[in-house]
């Protein structure tokens, strides 16, 4: 089983895009993540400071929409992986 790099991540709200790639919120952090279905590798993406993702949705064109603790639903392109 793969582990997340962020200890307090609490994966939550998983959704799968049109290519079969699962994305999830890391509740309790300002990150989201994705799982590579071929390798089961996990990539974490840092969101703006203070954003605490709670839910996510993926549109037909694979745009990701997040609901965070500070803002309404907003669309985003996938940010750079977290260091």
Higher pLDDT, residue 7 or 37: 37
Q: How far is 55 from 70, CA to CA, in rounded Å?
A: 12
Per-residue pLDDT at 9 = 79
CB 70 within 8 A of CB 50: yes
Q: How far is 38 from 65, CA to CA, in rounded Å?
A: 24
What is the CB-side half-sphere exposure of residue 28 using CA atoms within 13 A? 7
CB 47 within 8 A of CB 9: no
28-52 pLDDT, tens digit per residue, is: 888 889 999 999 998 988 887 777 7
Higher pLDDT, residue 66 or 20: 20
Helix, strand or coil, per DSSP, at residue 7: coil
């Amino acid at each position: 089983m793969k582990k997340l790099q962020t200890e307090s991540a609490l994966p939550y709200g998983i959704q799968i895009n049109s290519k079969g790639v699962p994305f999830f919120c890391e509740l309790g952090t300002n990150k989201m993540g994705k799982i590579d279905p071929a390798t089961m590798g996990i990539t974490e993406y840092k969101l703006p400071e203070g954003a605490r993702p709670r839910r996510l949705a993926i549109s037909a064109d694979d745009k990701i929409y997040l609901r965070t603790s500070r803002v309404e639903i907003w669309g985003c392109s996938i940010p750079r992986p977290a260091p």
